[in-house]
Each structure stands twice: as structure tokens, then as C-alpha cells.
Structure 1
Amino acid sequence: MRLGGRLAAAIEVLEDIGRRHRPAADALRDWGLSHRFAGGGDRAAIGNIVYDALRRRRSAGWLLGDDTPRATGFGALLLEWGQTAQSLNAALEGDKFAPSLLSDAELETIAARRLADAPGEVRADCPDWSVPLLETAFGEAWVEEGAALAARPPLDLRVNTLKAERAKVLAELAETGAEPAHLATEGIRIAPIAGDGRHPNVQAEPAFQKGWFEVQDEGSQIAAELTDAKPGMQVLDYCAGAGGKSLALSAAMENKGQIFAHDAEKQRLAPIFDRIRRSDNRNVQVVAREQELAPLTGHMDIVLIDAPCTGSGTWRRRPDAKWRLTRRQLDARKAEQSAILDTAKAFVKPGGLLVYVTCSVFPEENDEQVTNFLGRDNTFAPIDHTVLWQSRFPGHAASARIAVGGGISLSPALSGTDGFYFCALRKAG
């Protein structure tokens, strides 16, 4: 397929997403199933246009003066693919599968507009209702951070130190352009793709099948490192999901001690079993039923809560979720987080840690949630997060925001990671 056919297909997928209010991955999968003639390169390029259009929906639409799938599809190519209005029309001309060329009115609008002159919410590519939240989180840098949340993401990997060293994995993945991560001790990063490119299928690599590494955002790896789990500890991963942090903690603990991986939604735990087998993690015990946690009450050195949240810190990877999210959903997540904190605290032993983590950048889910919890239970108190950060990541003081009396925040513009929040609370002992 030429660019015109790919753009037309992307517009079709964007229309499907908007009409049926469905995740982008589902819409792209269904398009591929009904257009089996499209090769892997075509599907990757179409997916890139769709995700670029979703990440940059406001700025792409603003450039063309409209917010239709056509406008955002064209705008994505102008913003992310190095195209100009003239080069794009030239590329589409004569292609019978292409959408209609940019009209004279559209060309005039594009020529008259500079993104630098756009309102802040357009440059930040964020919903209007989230602007006050981003301003509270980032202050004067909110537009820059919003724009970073709308950029293409890298592909991050975590070396499984139970089976390999980082140098060994880097050598194995040399052809992918893999480099050591900036912060995470065992992290590896493959840079964001450009244009119609696609990330390598690292899960097809023999090194992955051997369990030498896992796919995990660097911010998630950092959160696991900050937990500071040691060999021999008893740890409850209360919202374990697919088990990424459980596996990271297991490696940090050198397979010694015990990790109990639990999630209230049992289906989310399904991938953890294959991951445990592949990675040789022998101290992870999956506990699916809430009642089976009762014997752990008051005995855990660390209780990790990777709380259900809005996922606003992952918008560059899941941009469709950004436009589906509402204030009402944020309030629902906050209620869940509060209830989970009040339940999970019972498992922490005297002197142990309750660790609260989200992949959100919204203060209401982060520092404010912790402050409210401490107002309900004065047996917990924050540790010194400045000391913790400096001990784990010396020389990188500028790579995180540390709230006075609060936790640690990571973000794409500041840290180069997804948006994450980490706060460790010590139980009086």
C-alpha cells in the first residue's frame, strides 16, 4: 500500500473508534482481520497514523481547523511524519485509494497556523477538564509535560538478573538499537520509532524466550527499585495484575523470601504463570482469593499497592484512553484507591512499609490520596523520600519531583519515563 491507502485506512479506523467508542487496539485488530491483504508493514504504518492522530488529536485538528478523523489523520502526518501540506498532496495525487487531497481552504488554514501560537491545552494535547489537574501537578511546565505525554514512547525492557546480566542482553539485542536505560539499574531502552517504522518484536527473540528480560516501562522498574525489597523479606503485591513488579521484586530478592501476588480481578493474574515459568522466579506465590490472604495479616515487611488509577501517566502508550477518560471515572478510581489503602494496611507488620504506587500524574490520585489516608490512620508516616531517591539514584536529583512530606513523581518530560507516583509509608513499630 502507498501512503494514500494507509492514510485512508487509518481514517477508517479512527472513524470506527469514534463511532463505537472502542479501544484503538480492538479497532486496528478488526480492520486487519477484514483486510488480510495488508502486509505487516502496512498494518504497522496504519497503526502509527492512528496512534499519532490520537496522541496529537487536539493539535492535529487545530492545524486543519477541524476535529474529524480526516483532519486528525492528515494532521498526524504533518506533525509526526515530517510531511508538509504540499508534499502530502503530492504523495497522495494519483493514488485511487487515497482520501481526497487537502482542499484550498485546508491549505490556507494550515499555512496560517503555527502550533507555537495555539492555546496551551492544544499544545498539551489534553482534554479541557484535565487542564487544572495538569497545572496543579506540573505548574508552569504543564504544557511541556502534556506534550511529552502525547509523544511516541520508547520500548523499555528489564533485565532478569536471575538469568542474565545487562551487558549480555544488550549484546544479544545489538541489532535493535538497544541502549542502557537512563535511570533504572537493570533497564534497557529502544528509542521511539519514527514515521512508518515499528519496534522490533522483542518477544520473538530467543533471549526473551529464555527469560533473560521482560518488557516493562522504566518508570515501573524504578518504582520496584524504590520499594527496596531485600532477600528474605515477606512481600505482598496486593494489586499485582500481570505481575511485572512481582517479578522485578523477586529478582531483587534473589529468589529468597516470599512474594504473594494478589489481584481482586483474577483474570488480570492470568499472564503471571507463564512469566514466572519463563523467568525462573521461584519465590512468587499467586493468591487469587481475598480470603486466602488472612494468614498474612500483620506479617508483611512490604505491602505494595500498584493502585487502579486513571492511567494518565501512560497516555503516550494508550492515547485513546485519554479521550475516553472523564471526571466521573477519576472520582471512581479515587474511591477504589481509598478503599484499597484502608484494606491493605492490615497486612503490614509493625515497622513495615505500605508502598503506594500509581501510573497517574494527577495529584488527586497521588499526594492528595496519601494525605487523606494519613488523616484517617496516624500509625503510618512517610519515609524520607529525598534520602531514598538519592540512595537509589545518586546524581539524578533533577530526574524526579519529590514533594515535601510526600512521595516521588516521575513524568516523560522530567524523567523520560511514563508518569508514575511512588510513596512509602512506615508503620509505627
Structure 2
Amino acid sequence: MTPAAHVSAAIEILAELAARRRPAADAIKDWGLSHRFAGSKDRAAIAGLVFDALRKRASAAHVMGEESPRAIMLGALREARGLTGEAIAALCSGEGHAPAPLSEGERERLACATLDGAPAHVRGDYPEWLAERFAAAFGAAAAEEGRALAARAPLDVRANILKSSREEAMRRLAHLHPEPTPLSPLGLRLPAGPHGRGPALAAEPAFVKGHVEPQDEGSQLAALLCAAAPGEQVLDLCAGGGGKSLALAGQMHNRGQIYAFDDDGRRLTPIYARLERAGARNVQVRAPRGGADVLADLEGRCDLVLIDAPCTGTGTWRRHPDAKWRLAPGALAARLEEQRALLEKAPRYLRSGGRLVYVTCSLLRDENEDQIAAFLEGASGFSAVPAAEAAGEAQLTELARFASPFGFGLRLGARASGTDGFFVCVLRKA
């Protein structure tokens, strides 16, 4: 396939996404299944175009003056890829499988349209209904934060210290040219290849043998801020696929016990293979079982309860640019209710002096500082650990500079820390 044909295919997939609210990865996969002639490199190139268009959907539509799939793709070629109007016109020859030639209006907009005077949500490429919430979190920097979230994310991996050190993991992945992550002492960052895709990590012996685990640096830091110690009793209340349970097992050197629970047992499915690969032996999976209370024996026993709370995922838009356009106000309301329920449930498992760590991959105050404020107002015997103290206890004093300006916890993000967006608040029970 030619580059022009890639653009035509991307426009076709964007039209499918406009017609049906679905994950972009699913639409791209379906397109590949129905167009068997497209090779793996073609599919990768098309996926890159689709995701770049979704990263820049609002600004691209503003540049072109309309929101059609074609307009968004053309605008994204300029805004995301930096192509000139002439270069875009060369791709749109109308010959073979190329898009139709540019109209005079399209040529003019590609040559002259700017984002000057556009609203923050357009310049930052996030949904208009979130504009007030981004302004509340970032003030005049809201558009800048949005642009950081519209950039491509790097591929980070965590050295599994149950089997390896960061230095050993770096040696095993030397052919991929890894660099140490700036903030996490366990992380490695792998450079992107063509079309912004990272290497095929699943085929790497270092991954297959459990020496490294893919995990964004921000997620690594969130786990490290739990300051889990060998011998402790730990409850991961929203374990999902087990990413943070694996990280905590490493911190604890397989000593003590981690109880990995999720109220949706289907989300726990990947954890078993991951635990075996990582050599994590101190993780006990507690899957839901009918109406039975599978955590009853943990009441008042845990040194640490981790709530990796379900949230809107606004901090992960670099990796899932389609998610921001599928997110609806009703989803935020549902996540807020789930978070409140978890904060109400978690304290009963803590012993006196235990730690409750609340984590989201969201940047919205509603899901972060506001939730903690409401919890502290209604729960007796709990206090928020100051950000500098929490960072010190985790031996990550440099993270103190990411203290939230809104009273509680730490804020990590693409603009400030170069990571996915995370909120972490450590609470202590009296």
C-alpha cells in the first residue's frame, strides 16, 4: 500500500468510529480482517494515522472548519505530523486508492487557518464538557496540559527485582537501546520505532522470563509510594490484571502477604500467568465467589490497603486517545460513586496505624482531592500524610515537588513529570 492509500484507509476507519462508539483498536483490527491484502507494516502505518487523528481531533476539525472524518484526517496531518499543505495535497491525488484531491477551501484552510483565539479545549484537544474541570485543575495551563496528553506516550518497563536489577534488565534489553526513567529507580524507557510504536515486548526473552514488566513510570511511582515493606499484610482492593500487585511483591521481596481482589473476577484473569512469570509467590488471589465475603478474615489485619480506583482514565489519554472522545458525563458520575463506595469499604481492613493509599489515573479534582476531602470529613481517625512525608517514606524525596496544590496527595502528569497522569494520596489510620 502507498502512503496515500494509508490515509484513505485511516479516513475510512475514522468514519466507522464516528458512526459507532467503540474502541479504535477494535475498529482497526476489523478493518485489517476485511482487507487481508494489507501487511503488518501497512496496518501499523494506518493505526498510527488513526491515533494521531484522534489525538488532534478537536484542533484538526477547528483548522479545517468541519468535523468530518476527512477533515479531521487532513487537519491532523498538519497538526500532528507537521505536513505542509503541498505535502498533504500530494497525498490527495485522487489516483488509485488515494483520497480525492483537495478543494480550494481545504487548500486555503491548510495554508492559513490557525488556532489563535480558539477555546482551551480545542487547543488542548479534550472534550468541551471537561473544559471547566480542566480549568479547575490547571488554570491557565489547561490547554498546555491537554497538548501534553495528546502527545505519544513512551514505552516504559519495570525491572522485576524478584529476578533482576535495573542494570541487569538494561543489559538484557541492550539491543532495544533502553534509557533509565528519570524518576522511577526501577524503570527503563524504550524508544519508539516507526509510526510511534514500541518494540514487540512480548517476544523478548527478558519479558518472557519475567525480568521486566511493562508499566508506565507514573504507575511504577504510584506503587512505590505505597512503601510496602517485607512482612506486611497488604490488600490490593482493585487488583484488576495485577500490575500493582506485581510491583508490591517486588518491594516486599516475596515476604509477607498480598491479597489481590477485584469485585469483577473477569478482570483478574491475566494475573495468574503474570504472577507465575514474575516469580511472585506472596500474592494470594481472592476472586469473588457468589455472595460470599471472601475478605472477611482480613478485617482489622492489614498494614496497607491499596485502592487503585476505577476512574475516567483522563491521565492515560496519551496511550488511549480515542477514550477521551468516548468518555461521557455519565461515566464520570458512575466512577465517582464507585470511588466513594471503595473509600467507605477499605478502612475496615486496616489495623491501627495502617496505611490506606488511594490512587487514580485521573487528573480531575472530582475524582482526586475532592474525594479525599469528602472521605476525611466523614471518616474519623484518618489523616492525609503530607506529600513530602509520603515521598520520603518511599525514599523518593524528589517527588515532593509534585505535591498537589489542592491540599492532598501528589499529582503526576504528562506535562509536569513526563508520565501518565496519576493522583496518589497516602492516608494513615490513627
Same fold by TM (over 0.5)?
yes
Q: TM-score, normalised by structure 2?
A: 0.96
Find the aligned partners of 1:109 and 1:62 in 2 and give their Cα distance: 10
* Identity level (%): 49
Find the aligned partners of 1:115 and 1:205 in 2 and give their Cα distance: 43
Q: Secondary structure at the match of 1:328?
A: helix
Q: Is the 8 A contact 1:10 1:47 kept in 2?
A: yes
Provide the alpha-carbon RMSD of the alignment. 1.5
Residues 82-91 or 27-36, more deviating: 82-91
Alignment of 1:70-85 (within 5 A): 70-85=70-85
Residues 248-257 or 165-174, more deviating: 165-174
Letter in 2 for 1:295: D
Q: Secondary structure at the match of 1:125?
A: coil
The structural deviation recorded for 1:227 is 0.3
Aligned to 1:323: 325
**Matching residue within 408, 416, 419 for 1:417:** 419
Q: Is the 8 A contact 2:236 2:261 kept in 1?
A: yes
Q: Is the 8 A contact 1:85 1:102 kept in 2?
A: no
Alignment of 1:177-216 (within 5 A): 177-192=177-192, 196-216=195-215
Q: Is the 8 A contact 1:257 1:283 kept in 2?
A: yes
Aligned to 1:64: 64
Q: Is the 8 A contact 2:310 2:360 kept in 1?
A: yes
Letter in 2 for 1:259: I
Find the aligned partners of 1:193 and 1:77 in 2 and give their Cα distance: 19
Residues 314-323 or 222-231, more deviating: 314-323
The structural deviation recorded for 1:115 is 3.1
Residues 57-66 or 279-288, more deviating: 57-66
User: Within the alignment, does 1:408 sit opposite 2:410 as a pair?
Assistant: yes
The structural deviation recorded for 1:117 is 4.5
Letter in 2 for 1:182: P
Find the aligned partners of 1:91 and 1:147 in 2 and give their Cα distance: 26
The structural deviation recorded for 1:92 is 3.8
The structural deviation recorded for 1:185 is 1.2
Letter in 1 for 2:58: R
Letter in 1 for 2:121: E
Find the aligned partners of 1:285 and 1:74 in 2 and give their Cα distance: 51
Aligned to 1:267: 266
Alignment of 1:119-134 (within 5 A): 119-134=119-134
Find the aligned partners of 1:287 and 1:323 in 2 and give their Cα distance: 34
Find the aligned partners of 2:95 and 2:349 in 1 and give their Cα distance: 64
Alignment of 1:13-412 (within 5 A): 13-93=13-93, 95-192=95-192, 196-289=195-288, 291-390=293-392, 392-395=395-398, 397-398=400-401, 400-403=402-405, 405-412=407-414
Gaps of 5+ in 1: none
Q: Is the 8 A contact 2:176 2:191 kept in 1?
A: no
The structural deviation recorded for 1:403 is 3.8
1:397/1:350 Cα in 2 relative to 1: closer, same or farther (>3 Å)? closer
Show CA shifts across 1:146-196 (max 9, x none): 1111111111111101111111221222232321101111011124556x3
Q: Secondary structure at the match of 1:355?
A: strand
1:171/1:373 Cα in 2 relative to 1: closer, same or farther (>3 Å)? same
User: Aligned pair count?
Assistant: 426
Find the aligned partners of 1:320 and 1:185 in 2 and give their Cα distance: 31
Gaps of 5+ in 2: none
Show CA shifts across 1:35-85 (max 9, x none): 121111111111011111111100111111111111111222212223111
Q: Secondary structure at the match of 1:354?
A: strand
The structural deviation recorded for 1:393 is 2.5
The structural deviation recorded for 1:142 is 1.1
1:262/1:40 Cα in 2 relative to 1: closer, same or farther (>3 Å)? same
Q: Is the 8 A contact 2:92 2:102 kept in 1?
A: no
Show CA shifts across 1:355-396 (max 9, x none): 110000000000000111111112111112222225533345
Q: Is the 8 A contact 2:304 2:350 kept in 1?
A: yes
Q: Is the 8 A contact 1:126 1:322 kept in 2?
A: yes
Q: TM-score, normalised by structure 1?
A: 0.96
Letter in 2 for 1:175: H
Residues 160-169 or 206-215, more deviating: 160-169
Show CA shifts across 1:243-289 (max 9, x none): 00000000000000000000011110000000001110000010002
